[in-house]
Chain A
Amino acid sequence: MAGTIRAKAAIAGDVTTVQVLIHHPMDSGFVKDAAGKVVPAHFIETLVFSHSGKTLFAANWGPAVSKDPYLKFQYKGGAKGDVIDIAWKDNEGQTDKSTVTVS
């Protein structure tokens, strides 16, 4: 899956705020489709933010995270121009990655 990640990272003072929105169904495995058939669980399990190979933040998700998940976190020690690597992996083994530059 490509192009699923939209991210924003901005620094104010010494605090960098990162926001990400991912396009993903996050199916819980409890919902039935129009034909009454259960839609199998399909959700992102891990989402990792890193900079120069060092993990900045790691999210572990279950099926209770909403469809097209949103996440916001903040960290100290960032700098303007830093490139943050973002990568997710779901329970079906699908992945996507992207980068965002701190502005």
Chain B
Amino acid sequence: MDMIETLEPKPGADRRAMMKGALALGVLGPAFAATAARAAEPAYPAAAFAAKDVDAALTALFGAKPAASDKITLDAPEIAENGAVVPVTASTTLDGVTAIAFVVAENPFKLASYYELPAGVLPTVSNRLKMQRTTQVMAVFKTAGGLFSASREVKVTIGGCGG
């Protein structure tokens, strides 16, 4: 894990070289960190969170692709002034929901959040997500009858992933 160590401050180190290293590793660092955490927390779907492709994330998480459904309500602002905090709520009238995932298509890591719903939990979740730029947001519901999704676009005027 010396790649991550290079992100630590080193007194006297040449700052330009350090920045160069940090830039190159900024993309890889979180992926390694997520992979390393998997051993400690077996339930955490680290591979899905590290995926840089929507299909790869959903396949890692569910092993299948969702079908679009009009029984899902995805509530998110049409225009988000601040991409760092975008409130997103998803709910459905589908029965037998066991999991809900939120995917932000234009983020470096596509999967934003994943919720497991034991019996008795209503199929509605609200959370706040970061969005790097204007993007499609997708909510995926895993039900007894298969995988279903709904998407909508959120226009972002100030990105939420730095830069």
- A positions within 8 Å CB-CB of B: 15, 26, 28-32, 35-38, 40-41, 45-46, 54-67, 69-77, 89, 91, 93
Contacts and interface: CB of A to CB of B under 8 A. Distances in A.
A37 B7 CA distance: 8
Given A28-B161, A38-B22, A64-B129, A45 B121 contact: no
B121 A74 contact: yes
B129 A74 contact: no
A89 B163 CA distance: 27
A66 B116 contact: no
B14 interface: no
A13 to B, nearest CB: 12
Interface size class of B (residues with CB under 8 A): 35 or more
Contacts of A67: 84-85
A64 B104 contact: yes
A57 B118 CA distance: 6
Contacts of A40: 4, 7, 29, 33
Nearest to A45: B44
A30 B163 contact: yes
Contacts of A15: 122
Nearest to B116: A58
Given A38-B7, A60-B114, A69-B127, A75 B84 contact: no
Nearest to B84: A66
A32 to B, nearest CB: 6
Given A60-B113, A60-B114, A64-B104, A38 B26 contact: yes
A8 to B, nearest CB: 13
A12 B37 CA distance: 38
A67 B160 CA distance: 10
B29 A65 contact: no
Interface string B32-55: 011001001101110001000000
Contact of A57 (B49, B84, B107, B117): B117
B111 to A, nearest CB: 6
Contacts of B45: 60
Contacts of A26: 130
Given A15-B122, A36-B19, A73-B122, A28 B162 contact: yes
B18 interface: yes
Given A28-B162, A45-B41, A60-B49, A73 B115 contact: yes
Interface in B113-141: 113-118, 120-122, 124-131
